[in-house]
Structure 1
Amino acid sequence: MSEDNVVALHRIETMNEVSLPPSVPEGDLELTHPSLYINRELSFLRFNWRVLQQAMDESLPLLERLKFVFICSSNLDEFFEVRVSEIVQRSQFAGAMRGPDGMAPQDVLEKISGFAHELVAEQYRIFNEVLLPALAEKNIHFLRRSQWTDQQAEWVSRYFHDEVVPVISPIGLDPSHPFPRLVNKSLHFIISLEGRDAFGREASYAVIHVPRSLPRLIRFPDHLSEKGESLVFLSSVIHAHAGELFPGMQIKGVYQFRLTRDSDLDVDEDRVDDLAKALKDELLSRHFGTAVRLEVSDQCPERVSNFLLQKCNLSERDLYQVNGPVNLNRLIAISGLLERPELTFRPLVPRTSPQVMVHHNHIFEAISERDIMMHHPFESFETVIEFVRQAASDPDVLAIKQTLYRTGKQSEMVRALIDAARAGKEVTAVVELRARFDEQENIDLAARLQEAGALVVYGVVGHKTHSKMTLVVRREKRALKRYVHLGTGNYHAGTAKLYTDISLLTCDQEIGQDVHQVFQQLTGMGKSLTMSRLLQAPFTLHTELHRMIENEIDNARRGKTAAIMAKMNSLTESSMIRALYVASQAGVKIDLIVRGVCCLRPGIKGISDNIRVRSIIGRFLEHSRVYWFKNGGEEKIFASSADWMDRNLHYRVEVCFPVLDKRLARRLKREALLCYLKDNSQAWLLQSDGTYKRAVPGKRQSFRAQSVLLNQLAHDG
């Protein structure tokens, strides 16, 4: 790590230092003290810091390092659109509820601002000072205006007039042209100008809105690239020629900017008759929610940036001055402009389960033989699609039921459901219309399924349906048999290549009956039903997790070996954290693999000194949720769609399923837990003060969990 990077890391890491309580004697359960809880928002920003550090990892291919800068930018966008906007709303109410960390909303906003400004500065430093020079060494050049040759400048001029001018509309600001209503996250330019136009109008400013249809990154033709590939930012093209849009006016300055708005939809489900229609109406206003962040070029004068802040009703705290394109995440399009396979990861060739290959055209025979577990993306998600595809074409299949949260626009899974419905099978789809930022896509998906004859329901008012399950009912001889898929990830073939997730295919009668009951709850009405195998939120999952933790506590107090291992995306639910603190005090050994937000503080003497927390950041997004309990030697292991968060445990429909086949249970423990606990190269270890330290191999051999799983389960190239 470079000296500059170390300094930046120190600045950020010291921003969330807290005064930890003194050592707490065993049995003194002051476990609601605010200092025992890390602020959720600051923990999320630390996660993005870890993502950004992947861009500094020279062991990764160069274009993949660049992608981590874009991912960090995209994550920050959503963070401001959803989390920051929510805190801004709460801060407007006196006596607003504080979280377990005890911080008031205004204090949280101040902390966020300080941390986020440092993070953004570091993001652009890495982009400009590390990655662009490294790309230039590989003959990939991002050319600034000052670097254009005469021929390149002439080509840019033609591009501007042919491709840009026809689709943009400059707006001079005067009494008849007030400051425009800016679209969320769109690229804009503010032009400082002087003079009078043909109508005698005088204006100090004008605004150019750049539509999303224009690419933010443009590749020069090969004959204009002296070495390798040359690219230019759209912002540079517009900057160079913006003055031509205001003939006769004197241009004083051209500055790019971007506004981020509240993008969370506000639909009172108890007061609407048609959720789909209400969401459609609300989606129209998503682009124009309350402003929460303003990004401007760092060359923008204070006078101009203050003008923008005033027009957007923002304060100086909300201003982010950046040294480069204000919309870095749109530059991810570079992957489609270059063909440099040596600078990217070798293609992943996932393995197909040997059990499935033996029964390739008869997947129900394969499942009947033995449960099938898959660890995506190392093992192919195509098997799950094939499960539904064969169900759609099998004359013995009578019904297919599936929950759909995110699927992708060109989903083979959805196509199979449509084929099944058109073939006369009973198809039931529980479509979650409120999957954030996929609402419109899911509304369209629901319409397509309904047109094909499927029964479409939208789940339960007030509870997002986040569980991932498919139920197939098949007639075999004279009886009906249930086949089930349960997963930790979405039915999205694209993300299945990028996220780590667990899938289980089974025909276990009790699991099948439980899944049937969950679908009955989602589509019908009635009291919560007792289940044999599954744990379900919001009814039994939270309670049963507590019961299993308490069982480990009892075992530890009786002198038995007690241990918990759990892997998840986020840990924020305060009662779960308190239960883990109690377990630690009782002597239970606890290992947590938490990719993102973690509000628990490990390593506090007398409270959490038996808890270790690590985060793994690598090529694939860690997305699987797996919980393991020692249980006095009779080990229990579960996979789930639920994180240990308030929303997942109390306000969503989630499913947690046991892996009953002992062979598969051992494999799941080894691959999803023990392998990641051995990682000494891509693991970040959470400290008691809320900071993270990267694990280093030292004298040991480097061990990267994802690389090991690639080698064991798939083919990398």
Structure 2
Amino acid sequence: MVDFKQSKYYVNREISWLAFNDRVLEEARDVYNPLLERANFLAITQKNMDEWFMVRVASLQQQVMIGLDKVDASGLTPKQQLDQISLVAGQQIKNQYQVLTRSILPALKREGFELLRAADLSTTQYHFLKQFFEQELLPVLTPMAIDSTRPFPFLANDTLNIGVRLKKENEKSEKYIAVLQVPETSGRVIALPEENQYILIEDIVQLFLGSLFPGYTIKESMVFHVLRDMELDIADDEDTPNILQDVQSKLQERERGRIIRVILSHTTSKSLMTKLIKLLHVDEERTYRVNGPIDLTFLSAWLKLITAPELHFPSFTGYTDSDLVPDQLFASVRQQDYLLHHPYDSFKSVVSFIQTAAQDDQVLAIKMTLYRVSGKSPIIKALGDAARRGKQVTVLVEIKARFDEENNVHWARELEQQGVHVVYGLRGLKTHAKVVLVVRREDDAIRRYVHLGTGNYNDVTANFYTDLGLLTSDSELGADVASVFNILTGYSDPGYFHQLHMSPDGIREFIYEQIDNEITNAKAGRPAAIKMKFNSLSDEQMIRRLYQASYAGVKVQLIIRGITMLKVGLPEVSDTIEVHSIVGRFLEHSRIYSFENDGNPKVYLSSADLMTRNLNRRVELLFPLKNELIRDKVLAIFQTMWDDNVKTRVLQADGGFVKKDRRGVVALNSQEKFISDSLIQQNKQTKLESLAAATQQFEPLNNPFLNEEQGNES
């Protein structure tokens, strides 16, 4: 029997994550993508890497600092992981800047959009910027000297700063050092008077830096960006009775976390760089020099100033089923289940479900979970409206959602003020489940309506995240969801669910059972296959179970957007496992779990990825698709994605991802296919609505479209 625990069978989690970010970087290189979308992909790689450093790299540094040397599944200690990260991340940063300077900026210039440096400015532009500097920047700039009486200042997380080396007039020494933070009040990118010419705010500050240090000569100035450890450590004991206050307190502490990365200009002198590294207390291995503008997220700010629709993906609005408009919604869902595939199906149907419930006099209660919502969420407004109308409204707001903690604290307070009963998550667990329960009185009976989904109730990200959701009035699912809320808000242990599976523990054990069933079928010569789609695979025990399935001959197809610690092509270990990764216009976020079950497939959707945190330390839900039409539709969605040969990368035995060979094959971009299908649905619905409107202009007896009998009669 093969020992599936051997470290040679696993990829390091962090190196796998960097490989994912490299796939995003490929989209920035891809000349078949519209130019401004390529620039946006490059900005996304920077944002991704920043968040990864602030959490994952910071966590590894903490482990090294306390002397932890426990190896991960791939056999690496925290120190060894950091050493590998330094090399791989350093190369990826170089690649980012090659894409910027050799591809994106020249292409933008050819299209007439130019980012100027100080040396490129005309006399008119110089005088414009001098006036801008004096009026807008000079009043807010604060140069901070560093000497024996003025220690190195605190530099906030995710800020741009300028380091300055100076010489005092009539002195030979160049020992004077100062820093100043680049202000954010005017934005990162400034439009110049000439159309489509721009300059970065830090270049303006450096251009007129001398006015801040009269009596001194500037010998050198450089821009640098700092990131801090932003992991939020919430106590899991009972010493802190108020979890909301605990989170708010930790948010303040987090802002002063240890600096874990510095990026600076490649022109920085060795002496100034050495001085800064010492003052910032950052390891040299976490210091990266780049040839280009510091912090590539400036591209996001620049894109907002550029008007060129032809350089973006064509605009697209998802399909809204006419059955799910407010006056028909509850009647429609009472008749049948509805599958929603976002963004191809508009998220407005989900928003409408909650808004309609808020205004419907027959609705008695609304309960839901919120993990991430938009800054101006219509869902929050609808919940407040429902509470003011006297309905029982209960919302679990997960205030520990990473990097959304402050936003969620705000919304929790806002909902409370509107009369909503707010639960702040569970101590020791994050509530990541996506569920809404609407309780409605109908004909002296109580009926439950439910929405279960794979993604957040965020009306903004729903336009570019792919997710699946189910609208249903199934009585067993409704009872299960009611039990879930009783667990989340009170003291309840229902003992079992009719259809739902819930983590911690429940989803893991259920998936184990399904995999074991496939193994049994494979050994008996019956049809056996596993098809799954999710964001990340990093749970060692789950990988081991999939290896066991492959060893038994089960065909395993996995679509994984991000991390995968599993290896393919290992003899007797993963011979039958294939892994695809789709990175394209939309961020693949839906989670599908399908098992062949001897020719009678079982299909489930879930909020959970196959990561240890999702299976052990979060409240997640996995739910079945009982309706055969919906089940088959999801299987067809999976198959379309599996057949994608444009945006798919296939995992190789050496750990690399390679695009499919398309020679002699018709191109299939699954996301574009789903967009096309959605537009066809919209056109059909528009024609039917136009036809219905036209028929109302005629007398019934002269209208052959009313029904077949009247048509024949006429």
TM-score interval, smaller chain: over 0.9
Alignment of 1:231-630 (within 5 A): 231-270=198-237, 271-357=239-325, 360-527=326-493, 529-630=495-596
Q: How big is the shift at 1:59?
A: 1.1
Alignment of 1:705 onto 2:673: no
The code of the aligned residue for 1:511 comes to: L
* Equivalent residue in structure 2 for 1:213, among 166, 185, 206: 185
Contact 1:174 1:203 in 2 (8 A): no
Amino acid at match of 1:210: V
- Residues 197 and 428 of structure 1: CA distance in aligned 2, closer, same or farther (over 3 Å): farther
Q: Secondary structure at the match of 1:608?
A: coil
Quote the Cα distance in structure 2 between the aligned partners of 1:268 and 1:406.
Answer: 22
**Partner SS, residue 604 of structure 1:** coil
* Aligned equivalent of 1:21: none
Partner Cα separation in structure 2 for residue 250 and residue 304 of structure 1: 16
Any conservation in 1 of the 2:539–2:612 contact (CA below 8 Å)?
A: yes
The amino acid that maps onto 1:674 is: Q
> Which residue does 2:43 correspond to in 1?
70
For residue 649 of structure 2, the aligned residue among 679, 684, 700 is: 684
Q: Which fold has the larger relative contact order, with Cα–Cα distance below 8 Å and residues 6 or more apart in sequence?
A: 1
Structure 2 match to 1:695: 660
Amino acid at match of 1:254: S
Which whole-Å deviations, capped at 9, do the CAs of 1:179-224 have from their partners, x for residues lacking one? 11110110100001011699xx996111011233331111112xx2
Task: Tell whether the 8 Å contact from 2:68 to 2:78 is kept in structure 1 after alignment.
Answer: no
**Amino acid across the alignment from 1:155:** F
The percentage of aligned residue pairs carrying the same residue is 38
1:495 CA drift (Å): 0.4
Cα distance between partner residues in 2 of 1:416 and 1:330: 35
Alignment partner, residue 6 of structure 1 = none
Following TM superposition, by how much is the alpha carbon of 1:528 offset from its aligned partner in structure 2, in angstroms? 5.2
Contact 2:165–2:174 (8 Å) recurs in 1: no
Q: What code does the residue aligned with 2:520 have?
A: D
In structure 1, what is the equivalent of residue 115 of structure 2? Answer: 142
Structure 1 CA distance for aligned equivalents of residues 118 and 111 of structure 2: 21
Residue equivalent to 2:690: none
Find the aligned partners of 1:637 and 1:289 in 2 and give their Cα distance: 44
Which residue identity is paired with 2:107? Answer: A
Alignment partner of 2:340: what SS?
A: strand
d(CA) in 2 for partners of 1:528, 1:237: 64
- For residue 640 of structure 1, the aligned residue among 589, 606, 611 is 606
Deviating 4+ runs (over 6 angstroms): none
The 3 A distance-change label for structure 1 pair 249 and 341 is same
- In 1, Cα distance between the equivalents of 2:284 and 2:174? 28
Question: Bigger shift: 317-326 or 70-79?
Answer: 317-326
Between the aligned partners of 1:342 and 1:425, the Cα distance in structure 2 is 47
Equivalent residues of 2:137, 2:183 under 8 A apart: no
SS in 2 for 1:398: strand
The CA deviation at 1:31 is 0.3
Structure 2 residue identity aligned to 1:423: R
Instruction: Spell out, residue by residue over 1:510-567, the C-alpha distance to the aligned partner (whole angstroms, 9 max, x if none).
Output: 0000100110000012335300111111131100100000000000000012100000
Do the aligned residues in 2 keep the contact of 1:216 with 1:331 (CA within 8 Å)? no
Q: 2:626 aligns with which of 654, 660, 672?
A: 660
Asked if 1:42 is matched to 2:31, the reply is no
- 1:117 Cα deviation from its structure 2 partner: 0.5
How far apart are 1:307 and its partner, in Å?
A: 0.8
1:328 positional shift: 1.2
Q: How far apart, CA to CA, are the structure 2 residues paired with 1:412 and 1:95?
A: 46
> How many residue pairs end up in the alignment?
681
State the distance in 2 between where 1:387 and 1:623 align.
22
Is the contact between residue 379 and residue 714 of structure 1 (CA under 8 Å) also seen in structure 2? no
Indicate if the aligned counterparts of 1:197 and 1:249 stay in contact, CA closer than 8 A: no
Give the counterpart letter for 1:706 in structure 2: Q
Conserved? CA contact 1:517–1:529, under 8 Å: no
Q: Which has the larger radius of gyration?
A: 2
1:197/1:440 CA distance change after superposition, 3 Å = farther
Letter in 2 for 1:419: D
TM-score, normalised with respect to structure 1: 0.93
Q: Does 1:153 align with 2:126?
A: yes
Gapped runs of 5+ residues in structure 2? 684-714
Q: Distance in 1 between matches of 2:332 and 2:495?
A: 30
| Cα gap change, 1:313 to 1:66, in 2 (>3 Å) | same
SS in 1 for 2:374: coil
Tell me the amino acid that sits aligned with residue 595 of structure 1: R
> Given residue 190 of structure 1, which amino acid in structure 2 is its aligned partner?
G
> Normalized against structure 2, the TM-score is what?
0.93
Q: Counterpart amino acid of 1:78?
A: E
Find the residue that maps to 1:517 and give its secondary structure: helix
